[in-house]
Chains A and B, each alone.
Chain A
Amino acid sequence: MAGAMSFHLGKPILVMALVAVACGAALMARREPARKDLVVWVFAEEHSRAYQPIIDGFEMRTGLSVDLKLMNESAMGRSLQAIFANELRGAGVPDVVEVEINRVGKFFRPPVREVAFEPLRPMLESSGLYEQIVPSRYAPYTKQGVIFGVPHDVHPVGILYREDLFREAGIDLGAAGTWLEFQEACLKFQAFWRGRGVKNRHAVELYAAKVDYLVVMLMQRGVNLVDDYDRVHLDNPKVAETVAFYAGCVAGARRIAGESSGGEGPLARDVVDGNLCAFVCPDWRLALLKEAGGDALRGKLRLMPLPRSEAADAPTATYGGTMGAILRSSPRKQEAWGLLRELYFSHQSLAARRSDHVLPPIRAAWDDPAYQRGDPYFGGQRIDSVLIELAKQIPPRYVAPASGIAGIYLSQVLWKATRQVERKGTEGLTSACQVWLNEAATDLRRRIAQMSFDEGGG
């Protein structure tokens, strides 16, 4: 075939080149799907499921079209960062987003006027919602007094425990009002079961080197590691006291803690097996635990408030959370606010949340009789009423850009403290913790000052 065309790189390369050109042409010819009037990004599947019927009703009533997108939480965080960093607008940019509480801080790095979310207080006030929402729940979504997010939840924290096993040991754990009493009760509990040869029975789930529950205890005492003005409280004497006490609970002769491998499944298994007999429990964990624990835990669990360190402490704190926010760049802010309000506070939305023990942040909604019923799964305890009493007292939790790094410092101090407990016991531990925390706080302040765009940070 003298006339045949030749391609000196070979047929495979030619085919690949042709395929690439064809794909490129097809992509370029593809029409961008029309943007709906409002775009909502959520990261929780349960939220997405609950919102769809509300959105259907909203679309019918307003004539606006809404695109609800369920995204991976990390991917959403990165996408939002890219959108904010490049000041993108238009097709792929959402109007309303949900952000997980621990990821909020990074969006608060710019000065207040540059934060990419819309300040919501005027809308909250004009709609009458501002007064109805638990005030301390605005804290995580606030920078220097400006509210950038609406809370989806309250997530009060108590301690859920195996009442049957504690009762068998002759201990009324619910009567422990202070952390010291709690520790004593747990030590007696463990001694009882060790005496019967049950070696792996730990009174409570607490981590030896992870600070999640330590942060909860600090929050009870009104201490946030970093507040919404980027002020560092790592060297507050209450932190040293709490770290020292906590270290004594997770290490040494008065250890009362065991650890699960994380997640509700493994925790439920440990609770069913009686390896871990009490654990810190926010409201959202109850439904998950019911599902994972099944009939094996029916009637055996009770919820109690968190013990306190001092009388002035709150009997609860908060763990986890979600904020709904509107992007400053949204061309339809009022409509976005209307939608957000329906998603969070409509009757339909509030009703959907009653079955899973997750309290809405609207205080009036707690008067619903459904929250007053006893729950057979928890031995008839009126568990939602307990949660409501706790929710009324939750202390503020702040999430600042440096909160994550402050957690790393606290974790390092806790590790030093647990090592000291194992080697020398608890004597002199509080003052040693204070020294370590002072060093860490100095370092953290220097770093916040270096990274901050605000005046007087740290």
Chain B
Amino acid sequence: MQSRYAPYFFVAPFAILFCLFFAYPLGRSIMLSLYKAATPRMMQFVGLDNYRMLLKDRAFAAAVANTTYFALAFTLLQVPLSLGLALALNSRRLRFRQFFRFAFFSSNLVGNVFVAVIFSLLLAPRHGLINRAIGAVLPRVGTEVPWLSNPWLVMPAILMAALWLSVGFGMIYLLAALQGVDHELYEAAEVDGAGRWKKFQHVTLPSIAPVLRYLMLVGLIGAFQLFELPYVLFGQTTGPGGRAITVVMYLFTWGFEMGDIGYASAVGWALVMIIFLVTLMQFRTLYRAREAT
């Protein structure tokens, strides 16, 4: 009797917590996305109207475009930058390697909100360090580059902050992967007459490919969930010309600023679909690339 129920007993805490905090909210949010909702008493079933509205919603389209732009640029920049740093810090000739490793990773410890506040100071016109540096190096450009008020510069500003935060994180993973590459492979390649580039291309890259794939996947999914950085950097606004609004910010605006939980749920599920499709495409591309090599 005791042994018959024991497995259920051990599984119960997870099952209860999962149902309470994952399955139920998921189911509830699907249901909510089919309603127009203001309060529990003020709910009206609208079927797929919220999703239909999303398809026509220009502001949502802008949020998707902004987020996609960020996600692509972030992924394309983060992985090479992390790899470059990891390669540099993996070199045995470099002194104070441990210090640099910690220094580059430490930005990851402070969190999005802190980084956003720091960058809002760094990018300030006239008084911000970045603008002062630009003014000193390029006097013709001056100290008034409107990073946070020119719609064209919004994404570069967010990207700068996001990369500063996360390049060190990718670097740590890639350092670990680089240190796991079998040295005998390098020796064999040298015997075959391979130069530095050939060794990198045919030994290093294939060996660390799983970590690169992982970083790209995690980076892309994280980038589609961008919220805190632009939210704080642009003072809880959608930024100039609405260029800082992301899908999660849009969800937040509808759910918590305008109180329409139904529409916000629909935005949430649209984001799930977008991430699912992008991940699927990425898997396929990477799978084809692996097959090709």
Contact = CB atoms under 8 A, between A and B. Distances in A.
Interface in B234-254: 235, 237-243, 245, 253
Contacts of B239: 209
A84 interface: yes
Nearest to B124: A261
Given A447-B53, A450-B36, A450-B49, A81 B256 contact: yes
A401 interface: yes
A275 interface: yes
A78 B258 contact: no
Contacts of B62: 412
Contacts, number: 125
A97 B277 CA distance: 45
A209 to B, nearest CB: 3
A167 B264 CA distance: 53
Contacts of B237: 210
Interface string A197-238: 001100000011110000000000000000000000000000
Contacts of A114: 38-39, 41-42
Interface in A57-93: 77-78, 81, 84-87
A402 interface: yes
Given A208-B150, A210-B149, A412-B242, A107 B259 contact: yes
A105 B36 contact: no
A261 B132 CA distance: 14
A443 B58 contact: yes
B256 A78 contact: yes
A455 B25 CA distance: 31
A402 B258 contact: yes
Interface size bucket, B side?
35 or more
Which of A207, A270, A412 has the most chain B CB within a 10 Å cutoff? A412
Contacts of A261: 120-121, 123-125, 127-128, 148
B149 A208 contact: yes
Contacts of A453: 36, 38, 42, 44
Contact of B258 (A109, A200, A270, A416): A109
Contacts of B240: 207-210, 411, 415
A262 B239 CA distance: 13
A289 interface: no
A345 to B, nearest CB: 30
Given A208-B149, A261-B148, A270-B126, A77 B260 contact: no
Contact of A266 (B44, B49, B56, B127): B127
Interface stretch (B139-147, B169-177, B198-206): B139-147
Contacts of A443: 56-58
A266 B124 contact: yes
A269 B42 CA distance: 49
B151 interface: yes
B224 interface: no
Given A86-B40, A207-B149, A258-B144, A411 B241 contact: yes
B125 A110 contact: no
B149 A259 contact: yes
A409 B59 contact: yes
A451 interface: yes
A299 interface: no
Contacts of A85: 39-40, 261
Which of A110, A208, A261, A404 has the most chain B CB within a 10 Å cutoff? A261
B142 A199 contact: yes
Contact of A401 (B123, B125, B241, B258): B258
A408 interface: yes
B142 to A, nearest CB: 7
Nearest to A275: B126
Interface in B81-129: 120-121, 123-128
Nearest to B131: A261
Contact of B149 (A209, A273, A416, A440): A209
B59 A408 contact: yes
Given A208-B146, A208-B149, A261-B148, A404 B124 contact: no
Contacts of B257: 103, 106, 404
A109 B44 contact: no
Which of B57, B58, B240, B256 has the most chain A CB within a 10 Å cutoff? B240
B242 A110 contact: no
Interface of A: 77-78, 81, 84-87, 103, 105-107, 109-111, 114, 199-200, 207-210, 258-262, 266, 269-270, 273, 275, 401-402, 404-405, 408-409, 411-412, 414-416, 440, 443, 446-447, 450-451, 453
Q: 10 nearest interchain CB pairs?
A: A209-B240, A415-B241, A261-B124, A106-B259, A109-B38, A110-B38, A209-B241, A412-B242, A109-B259, A110-B42
17 contacts: A85-B261, A86-B40, A106-B257, A110-B39, A208-B146, A209-B241, A258-B125, A261-B125, A262-B235, A405-B253, A408-B59, A411-B241, A415-B151, A443-B58, A446-B53, A446-B56, A447-B57
